[in-house]
Structure 1
Amino acid sequence: MAVFLLGFAAASYLAGGFVRFARDVALLTTPPEAAQADGIVVLTGGEQRLQQGIELLRSGEGQRLLVSGVNRGTSAKALARTTGTDSALFECCVDLDYEALNTIGNAEMATRWAHRHGFRRLLLVTSDYHIPRSLLEMADVPDAPEVVPYPVSPDKLWRADGWPTRLGLRLLATEYAKVLAVKARVAWHHVVTADGERRVAGHVGSQASFK
């Protein structure tokens, strides 16, 4: 009976968390003060993301644009053609990151890029369902700049009445599981780091007592 109750409580907690996650994603809106950002970062994964990032750059919402996680076989010229952008804009103000393989890599490369250009505030352009996990990963990078999320809503994710489509529901559920995994990893990392610091402090203290 106790096992059943524990399982029911865990399932209820996860279901409630998913509902909150889906609601928070649905309520995401574009920032009203986007123009105050120094740079723009687009996380690859959809043409809408890149198109939105280009539009923000054109309108002066950032000094430069980083496209993070680009396939190694994709050139700046190809992206310019895909988005209908003058290649001169890419040559001038767009940087491509070929190193990042996942959201963790995106966060690390975006932070390095920001430091290299002296940017302290970034617009982060990605799909709305990807925003929560992206922010968690950025927050876990040491000395990360301030990040302002700029959500892009995929056409196939939401219905006209604001509810997710069947595909959107599956996508949200998958992303929610990834968010939980990130939270667990970050929490464990902090526990291990704190324990290591305590051990080092205790070792130093014990050495000092013998002097």
Structure 2
Amino acid sequence: MRSRHPRRVHRLGAVLVALAALWSGGFLWFVDEVPRAVDDETSHTDAIVVLTGGRERLTTGLDLLEAGLSQRLFISGVYKGVDLAEIIQLGRGHAGLKDAVVLGYAADDTVGNAIETALWATEHNLRSLRIVTGAYHMPRALAEFRHALPEITLIAHPVFPDQVKSREWWRWPGTAALLATEYSKYLAAIIRHWFLPRKAAP
């Protein structure tokens, strides 16, 4: 009787190849979805939300606040021990804006950012948010925020760190690895959302 082991190995190999092809195709789609510019630079929102992860995000959020695109700024995922004076100093000294800035210390990741912001936005009855984060991070951030806040209007305001070469990512191993990691996390978020009920903010 012929062994079935080689046939099983062949089938497993075919499945792995198919999964790799699907992942690769999805990755190329994801890279194309990473923003190349800010689509909406003028709409006023109830609040601006900055997800911590780089000085460019903080300065952009403070600049948008100073430009009048909102009357309040929420910074989610601030390290414990960092106070508002340090944030303002990082943001080129926008001292006059300190009364409009709120710091959130509860979030450790993107899921936490969405939950922390949802609690704050619900408490203040907000209906629209401008989300500030890295362009490479924006697809996953929007997925998490839309899941946590399905009734709130979200405007993406990506920032573009110099070290992330998303336009020619294939030439930069560091950027390629960052995008691949971000895509895998995005997939995990989408799969998780399939199994969790979509509901309004708590």
TM (normalized to structure 1)?
0.83
**How many residues in Structure 1 have an aligned counterpart in Structure 2?**
188
1:7-22 equivalent positions in 2, closer than 5 A: 7-22=16-31
1:163 paired residue among 153, 161, 168 = 168
> 1: distance between equivalents of 2:113 and 2:151?
12
- Look up the match of 1:186: 193
- AA aligned opposite 1:20: W
**1:62 alignment partner in structure 2:** 70
Residue 139 (structure 2) pairs with residue 124 (structure 1): no
Q: Note the 1:77-88 alignment, pairs <5 A.
A: 77-88=85-96
1:202 is matched with none
Distance 1:89 1:37, change over 3 A: same
Q: Out of 117, 121, 130, which is 1:110 matched to? A: 117
Deviations 1:98-153 (A, max 9, x none): 11111111111212222222321100000011111111111221555211111111
CA contact (8 A) 1:49 1:125 kept: yes
Return the letter of the residue paired with 1:53: G
User: How many angstroms apart in 1 are the aligned matches of 2:151 and 2:88?
Assistant: 29
Q: Could you tell me whether the CA contact under 8 Å between 2:58 and 2:90 is conserved in 1?
A: no
2:144 counterpart of 1:137: yes
Distance in 2 between residues matched to 1:170 and 1:111, nearest whole Å: 30
Counterpart residue type for residue 109 of structure 1: E
Tell me if structure 2 keeps the 8 A contact 1:34–1:123: no
Percent identical pairs in the alignment equals 35
**Structure 1 contact 111–145 (Cα < 8 Å) conserved:** no
Would you say the 8 A contact 2:128–2:154 is kept in 1? yes
C-alpha distance in 2 between matches for 1:132 and 1:96: 23
Within 2, Cα distance between the matches of 1:140 and 1:30?
22
List runs of 5+ in structure 2 lacking aligned partners. Answer: 1-9
Asked if the contact 1:35–1:62 (Cα under 8 Å) also holds between the matched residues in 2, the reply is no
- Opposite residue 21 of structure 2, the aligned amino acid is S
**Alignment partner, residue 83 of structure 2:** 75
- SS of residue matched to 2:37: coil
Pick the structure with more helix per residue. Answer: 1
